[in-house]
Amino acid sequence: MSWYVLLIVAVAVERLAELVVSKRNLAWSQARGGTEFGAEHYPVMVVLHVGLLVGCLVEPLVLHRPFVPALGWPMLAIVVAAQVLRWWCITTLGPQWNTKVVVVPGADRVTGGPYRLIPHPNYVAVVVEGVALPLVHGAWITAVVFTVLNAVLLRTRIKVENTALASLS
């Protein structure tokens, strides 16, 4: 279990690194007249993602979930793949990426990297990680609850983002 705790801590540190990049990029966008869309759902997103990490730790401890290698190792590989996809998105978007939905007037819509393959690849990474990370150590309740709540949130988030991106045209 201690290695799993370290994994969750590593994911939390990675999220903090994302927030540092996001804050820098948000300042870049605002300096260029960027407009934020859908700010009201952002706090819900933060709580949901913190809840995922907490659930990943609490469920296996409280409910004595064992590590099942046949499930845990493939899920760990999927978690790593989701991180690779997430950082591919972040680097492809460059200074236009942040955790909020912000559009810079006159900016070109990014269509390279993973965005040439699917419209919202970062959300694919979030969905995949939301299932796989808890299942690394059998936290299936956390995986199900996060997935359902995240689906509701992403419905709103993607609608907001599509509206924001349409303003670039």
Closest CA to 114 of 106, 103, 123, 105: 123
Let me know if domain 2-27+39-166 sits in CATH 1.20.120.
yes
Q: Are 39 and 106 in contact (CB under 8 A)?
A: no
Closest CA to 142 of 129, 154, 155, 152: 129
Alpha helices in 63-139 (DSSP H): 69-93, 121-135
- Measured CA to CA in angstroms, residue 41 lies from 2, 3, 45, 122, 168 at distances of 34, 33, 6, 17, 21
Per-residue model confidence as pLDDT tens digits over 99-112: 999 999 988 889 99
Report DSSP letters for 100-121, one per residue.
SEEE-TTPPPP-SGGGGT-S-H
Structure tokens at 105: 């007037």
Q: What are the residue boundaries of the structural domains of the chain, listed by start? A: 2-27+39-166
pLDDT of residue 109: 86
pLDDT of residue 88: 98
Prediction pTM value: 0.93
Q: Are 18 and 134 in contact (CB under 8 A)?
A: no
Distance CA 134, CA 55 (A): 8
Comparing 164 with 128, which gets the higher pLDDT? 128
Per-residue model confidence as pLDDT tens digits over 32-87: 999 999 999 999 999 999 999 999 999 999 999 999 999 999 999 999 999 999 99
